[in-house]
Amino acid sequence: MRLRLSRRARRLRAVCGVLLAPVLAGCFASGGDTQEGDAQGARRLRVALAFPPAERLSPYGADATILSRLGVTEGLTALDGNGAAAPALAKSWRRDGDRAWVFTLREAAFQDGADVTPAAVVTALTHAAEARPAPAALSGVTLTATAEGGRNVRITTGRPDPILPLRLSSPGLAVLSQKAYGPDGAVDPLGTGTGPFALTKVTGATAATLDRFDDYWGGLAQAPGVDVRFIADGTARANALRTGEADIAEAIPVAQAATLDPATRRETATTRTTGLLLNSASGPFENPALRAAARAAVDTSGLAEDVYESHADPGSGLYGPAVTWADGKHLEPAGRARPGRPDGAAVTLATYDNRPELPEVAQVLKQQLERAGFRVRLVVREYARLESDALAGKFDALVLARNSLVDTGDPVAVLASDYSCDGGYNLAQLCDKDVDRAVAEAEATADPARRQDAALAAEAEILGTDAVVPLVHQRVITGVGTSVKGVLLDPYERTLVGTGTRR
């Protein structure tokens, strides 16, 4: 039995959201500075983001993409349109033996006026390597950075790492000035990045102010600054765009998409998969048979059409249609247990409302699991209030939207961080020797095509544990005002505002 909302009901939901949204969205009205321009008449950008900082804007966790999307931070490398490593703070690199790479830095400055030197890069990468929990891009990886003559930095890994230049593109490995790193391990990105916009003020989890960094190596940004509001409510974000209070609004709910002027909607196929993660280390889903029962109970066929109103594709694995090399090559999951009888097993299912479709997905899953014989308690919070408990394994199940290539662009890295015993973002609490073996084999494969095949083999091992059930592959809707030019949309969701973004 498929649960679905009628089109009329969904229209009513959207209309009700529009009526309620003004209560929630008076976000950019205070202060006249958002309308001020520079001497050439360029105006500041007003951006509504879905996710408030969860870790005080530390680059080592989920907040890293906030900094990269706003043009605050950069790493040694970046991802190009094909998902390959491209120059950023490093203008070139070469491999030197099995475990070492040498990166040559370009002439660049930090936003506090210091130069980007080999010593500064060494400091930044050393802090990242010593952070706990480790940044997702360094899951299972050890590295040592040393300054080496002139503009060079030598990076040595504990074992051969054929994708190190790709790994260093991760937003979690951004290079900040030495001023950013405190003695207690805290990291402060305020005025310490290298991007075209400097973070100058953060107001808790509600707002941030960025000013143009005039000495940016990549050229002067066209906007004099960015005023950010963190608006977890999706209807309020859409209304802020609709009423002209925001110039850019990310993650527009599908229920609100039809209420926007078509000229302001941008839909991007992404490498983001929404999945059901089952806690395999404790609680009912420690039992493989009950994980199999949960997987068998879930009917994903209607989620893409009904909940996402065809702005998503049905789940087909950990890698979706935007990962073109995986299309049609997924392997059958290996070693699945036979479904057991839930017999009223009580489970806590959690999700977050920053992505407004997720609570609806969770509600559908709750009903499906209850029909299968589970007793389900649903918990919905903002992501910032959910992550620490999820990482600690305090929920039995979690509905999560995860970009499979955001951390490094490498298909293997997300498998290591999310599903290996030592993974830094292992929300499923999975520790399986066959999975670790398959992931290790993929990590050791240098040839790109063979690495992709090895990633698909590891994917099959992971799905065979039933610790994750792929639900849908998302397309993201971004609201962009008609006067705005140069917004940076990419399937990896690492960029949004850059030097050419203006209004």
Residue 305: give its domain's CATH number.
3.10.105.10
| pLDDT confidence tier of residue 406, bands split at 50, 70 and 90 | confident
In a shared domain, residues 383 and 242: no
Mean pLDDT of 403-414: 84
Q: How many residues in the chain? A: 503
Q: State the pLDDT at residue 3.
A: 43
| Degrees, nearest 5: CA angle 362-365-371 | 145
Q: Between 33 and 333, where is the model more confident?
A: 333
**Model confidence, pTM:** 0.77
| Tokens coding 42 | 């360029």
Mean pLDDT of 96-113: 97
In a shared domain, residues 293 and 373: yes
Is 431 within the bounds of a domain?
Answer: yes
Residue 269 has pLDDT above 90, yes or no: no
Q: How far apart are CA 42 and CA 297, in angstroms?
A: 54
Task: Write the burial class of residue 188 (CB in 10 Å: 0-12 exposed, 13-18 middle, 19+ buried).
Answer: middle
Average pLDDT, whole number, for the chain?
90
Express as a percent the part of the chain with pLDDT over 70: 92
| pLDDT confidence tier of residue 14, bands split at 50, 70 and 90 | very low
Is 149 within the bounds of a domain?
Answer: yes
Mean pLDDT of 301-319: 88
Q: How many CA atoms lie within 13 A of 111 on its CB side?
A: 24
Residue 30: give its domain's CATH number.
3.40.190.10
Q: State the pLDDT at residue 42.
A: 80
Is 40 within the bounds of a domain?
Answer: yes
Of residues 304, 475, 311, the one with CA closest to residue 403: 475
In this structure, the number of other CB atoms found within 10 A of the CB of residue 29 comes to 11
Which phi and psi angles does 335 have, rounded to 5°? 70, 30
Pick the range with the lowest mean pLDDT from 204-218, 270-284, 307-321: 307-321
Is 95 within the bounds of a domain?
Answer: yes
Pick the last residue of a domain from 261, 288, 317: 261
Mean pLDDT of 56-82: 92
| pLDDT confidence tier of residue 37, bands split at 50, 70 and 90 | low
Using left for φ > 0, alpha for ψ between -120 and 50, and beta otherwise, residue 259 falls in: alpha
In a shared domain, residues 49 and 96: no
Pick the last residue of a domain from 241, 261, 281: 261
Is 489 within the bounds of a domain?
Answer: no
459-503: per-residue pLDDT in tens?
Answer: 999 999 999 999 999 899 999 999 999 999 988 899 999 999 999
In a shared domain, residues 275 and 423: yes
Residue 31 has pLDDT above 60, yes or no: no
In a shared domain, residues 249 and 384: no
In a shared domain, residues 372 and 427: yes
205-238: per-residue pLDDT in tens?
Answer: 999 999 999 999 999 999 999 999 999 999 999 9
Residue 95: give its domain's CATH number.
3.90.76.10
Q: State the pLDDT at residue 2.
A: 43
Q: State the pLDDT at residue 92.
A: 98
Alpha helices per DSSP H over 372-499: 387-391, 413-419, 433-443, 448-464
Residue 288 has pLDDT above 90, yes or no: yes
| Tokens coding 316 | 């087909």
Q: How far apart are CA 175 and CA 185, in angstroms?
A: 15
Look up the domain containing 91 and give its range. Answer: 73-180
Q: State the pLDDT at residue 223.
A: 98
Residue 17 has pLDDT above 60, yes or no: no
Is 493 within the bounds of a domain?
Answer: no
In a shared domain, residues 341 and 373: yes
Is 26 within the bounds of a domain?
Answer: yes
Q: State the pLDDT at residue 134.
A: 84
| pLDDT confidence tier of residue 38, bands split at 50, 70 and 90 | low
Q: State the pLDDT at residue 278.
A: 98
In a shared domain, residues 204 and 170: no
Q: Between 185 and 278, where is the model more confident?
A: 278
Q: How far apart are CA 263 and CA 241, in angstroms?
A: 12
Please tell me the total count of domains within the chain: 3
Pick the last residue of a domain from 180, 213, 244: 180
Mean pLDDT of 377-402: 95
Is 368 within the bounds of a domain?
Answer: yes
Q: State the pLDDT at residue 9.
A: 45
358-388: per-residue pLDDT in tens?
Answer: 999 999 999 999 999 999 999 999 998 999 9
Residues contacting 270, CB < 8 A, separation 6+: 320, 322, 403, 473, 474, 475, 476, 491, 492, 493
In a shared domain, residues 168 and 82: yes
In a shared domain, residues 275 and 371: yes
CA distances from 337 to 41, 250, 395 (A): 64, 40, 22
Q: How far apart are CA 378 and CA 16, in angstroms?
A: 24
Residue 102 has pLDDT above 70, yes or no: yes
In a shared domain, residues 440 and 360: yes
| pLDDT confidence tier of residue 84, bands split at 50, 70 and 90 | confident
In a shared domain, residues 323 and 415: yes
Whether residue 358 contacts residue 352, with contact meaning beta carbons closer than 8 Å, is answered with yes
Which phi and psi angles does 63 have, rounded to 5°? -70, -15
Pairing of strands 85-87, 346-352: unpaired
